[in-house]
Amino acid sequence: MRAVVQRVHWARIQVGGETVARTDRGLLVLLGIGAGDTPDCATWMARKIAGLRIFPDHTERFNLSVQDVGGSVLVVSQFTLYGDAQRGFRPSFSLAAPPAQAQPLYERVAELLRSEHNLHVETGIFGAMMDVESSNWGPVTILLEKESGSQS
């Protein structure tokens, strides 16, 4: 499972010109599900996202999490995080989970952020063509990765 996590002033998702999700100060999470990912990967990812200390404290150091600052999270399904372009110029997505496997794990990450980490979470529409806009604060962008079967 892979996530690109951006600290944002705001972010929103539009589908067909209509805003379907938005967040103010918090995190924009682009979430990719790999073919070997499990519910344990989703649990790890939700915990990591919720606890990631990338917000400034009173000394401007990265000491606070999205939970600490009362922020919210916008989670977007992003299978292209598993694009492999090492050969040629057209990426292969063979490492990405198929939709029937990916959607429940994507939804599990969002639900765990809500239920276990008490965050306000909004999501995109799984499988839809979405326009994602954001104002990256910093900019701060962190890549998280949990390989299925790894123990961290």
Kindly name the residue from 6, 80, 123, 151 that is annotated as catalytic. 80
Contact between 9 and 137 under an 8 Å Cβ cutoff? The reply is yes
pLDDT band of 147, cuts 50, 70, 90: confident
Kindly name the residue from 6, 23, 79, 123 that is annotated as catalytic. 79
Q: Residue 149: pLDDT above 80?
A: no
pTM of the shown model: 0.95
Give catalytic status of residue 80 as yes or no. yes
pLDDT mean over 7-34: 97
List of residues 6+ apart from 110 with CB closer than 8 A? 75, 121, 123
Instruction: Report which of 13, 2, 73 is spatially closest to residue 36, judged by C-alpha positions.
Output: 2
Give catalytic status of residue 6 as yes or no. no
Ranges of each domain in the chain:
2-145
* β pairing state of 26-32 and 120-123: unpaired
| pLDDT tens per residue across span 51-102 | 999 999 999 999 999 999 999 999 999 999 999 999 999 999 999 999 999 9
- Check residue 70 and give its pLDDT: 97
pLDDT mean over 115-120: 97
Give catalytic status of residue 79 as yes or no. yes
- Check residue 148 and give its pLDDT: 72
* Topology (CATH) of 2-145: D-tyrosyl-trna(Tyr) Deacylase; Chain: A; (3.50.80)
pLDDT mean over 18-35: 97
Kindly name the residue from 55, 78, 93, 151 that is annotated as catalytic. 78
Q: Residue 151: pLDDT above 80?
A: no
Q: Residue 33: pLDDT above 90?
A: yes
